[in-house]
Amino acid sequence: MTVVELFSKRQKRLRNETPDVYQYTDIPTPLRVQIKHILRDILGERRDYDHNGCLKNFGAINDLLCREYGVLELSPHYRMTPDEKVLDFLLNTATCEQVLDVVEIAFRMTSYLSRTSSEYQYSFRNALESAIPELNTRFREHGVGYQYESGEIVRVDSQLIHSEIVVPVLSLLAADEYAGANEEFLKAFGHYRKGDTKECLNECLKAFESTMKIICENREWPYKQTDAASTLIDICFKNGLVPQEMQSHIGGVRAALESGIPTIRNRRSGHGQGAQVIEVPLHYASYMLHLTATTIKFLVDSEKALK
> pLDDT-based confidence at 257, cuts 50/70/90?
very low
Find residue 149's DSSP bridge partners.
152
Q: Which of 28, 152, 38 is nearest to 91 (CA)?
A: 28
Decide: 99 and 32 in contact? Cβ < 8 Å. Answer: yes
Q: What percent of the chain has pLDDT over 90?
A: 32
Q: What is the pLDDT of residues 59-88, one digit of tens each?
A: 999 999 999 999 999 988 778 999 999 999
Q: What is the pLDDT of residues 144-183, one digit of tens each?
A: 989 888 788 877 765 445 555 666 677 777 777 888 888 8
Pair 176, 149 in one domain:
no
Answer yes or no: is 1 within a domain. Answer: no
**Range with the lowest mean pLDDT among 87-91, 123-127, 198-202, 254-258?**
254-258
Pair 129, 251 in one domain:
no
Pair 170, 235 in one domain:
yes
Answer yes or no: is 288 within a domain. Answer: yes
Pair 100, 191 in one domain:
no
Decide: 29 and 20 in contact? Cβ < 8 Å. Answer: no
pLDDT at position 221: 94
Pair 14, 151 in one domain:
yes
Tell me what the pLDDT averaged over the chain comes to: 81
Pair 151, 169 in one domain:
no
Domain range holding 228? Answer: 160-305
Pair 200, 268 in one domain:
yes
Answer yes or no: is 89 within a domain. Answer: yes
Answer yes or no: is 2 within a domain. Answer: no
Answer yes or no: is 202 within a domain. Answer: yes
Pair 129, 267 in one domain:
no
Q: What is the pLDDT of residues 232-247, one digit of tens each?
A: 888 888 898 876 666 5
Pair 75, 200 in one domain:
no
Q: What is the pLDDT of residues 187-226, one digit of tens each?
A: 888 788 777 888 888 888 888 889 989 999 999 999 999 9
The kind and range of the H/E element at 217 are: helix 197-219
Selected residue with higher pLDDT from 223 and 121: 223
Domain final residue, candidates 97, 128, 155: 155
Domain final residue, candidates 155, 175, 200: 155
Decide: 288 and 181 in contact? Cβ < 8 Å. Answer: no
Pair 180, 113 in one domain:
no
